[in-house]
Amino acid sequence: MGNKVIITGASSEIGLAIAKKFLTRDYDVILHGNRNIINCESLMDELNIKCKIIRADFSIESEIDKFVKEMENVDILINGASLNTHGLLSNYPDENIDLMLMINIKSLVKITRTAINQMLLKRKGVIINISSVMAQRGLRGASIYAGTKGFMESMSRVLTAEYGKKGIRINNVAPGPIDSGELKKTREYAEEEVNRLSISKRLGIPEDVANLVYFLSTDEAEFINGKTYAIDGGFNTGI
Q: In what order do the strands lie in the sheet with 125-130?
A: 52-55, 28-33, 4-8, 76-79, 125-130, 168-175, 228-231
Please give the CATH topology (third level) of the domain spanning 4-230: Rossmann fold (3.40.50)
Please answer whether residues 21 and 213 qualify as being in contact, where contact means their C-beta atoms are separated by less than 8 angstroms. Answer: yes
Q: So what's the pLDDT on residue 70?
A: 94
Domain locations along the chain: 4-230
Considering just the CA atoms, what is the radius of gyration of the chain in Å?
17
Which is nearest to 80 in space by CA: 10, 17, 30? 10
Q: So what's the pLDDT on residue 188?
A: 44
Cα–Cα distances in angstroms (integers) from residue 97 to residues 12, 83, 101, in the given order: 21, 10, 6
Transcribe the chain into DSSP letters.
Answer: ---EEEEETTTSHHHHHHHHHHHTSS-EEEEEESTTTHHHHHHHHHHT---EEEE--TTSHHHHHHHHHT--S-SEEEE---------GGG--HHHHHHHHIIIIIHHHHHHHHHHHHHHHHT-EEEEEE--GGGTS--TT-HHHHHHHHHHHHHHHHHHHHHGGGTEEEEEEEE-SBSSHHHHHHHTT-HHHHHTT-SSSS-B-HHHHHHHHHHHHSGGGTT--S-EEEESTTGGGT-
pTM: 0.89
Q: Which amino acid is at 92?
A: Y
Measured between alpha carbons, how far is 211 from 201 in angstroms, rounded to an integer?
Answer: 19
Q: So what's the pLDDT on residue 31?
A: 97
Which is nearest to 64 in space by CA: 108, 4, 130, 11? 108
Q: So what's the pLDDT on residue 202?
A: 67
Q: So what's the pLDDT on residue 16?
A: 96
Tens digit of pLDDT per residue, the chain (239 long)? 569 999 999 999 999 999 999 999 989 999 999 989 999 999 999 999 999 999 999 999 999 999 999 999 999 999 999 988 877 888 888 888 999 999 999 999 999 999 999 999 999 999 999 998 877 876 677 788 889 999 999 999 999 999 999 999 999 999 877 766 555 544 443 445 545 555 666 677 889 999 999 999 999 999 999 999 988 777 654 43
Q: So what's the pLDDT on residue 145?
A: 87
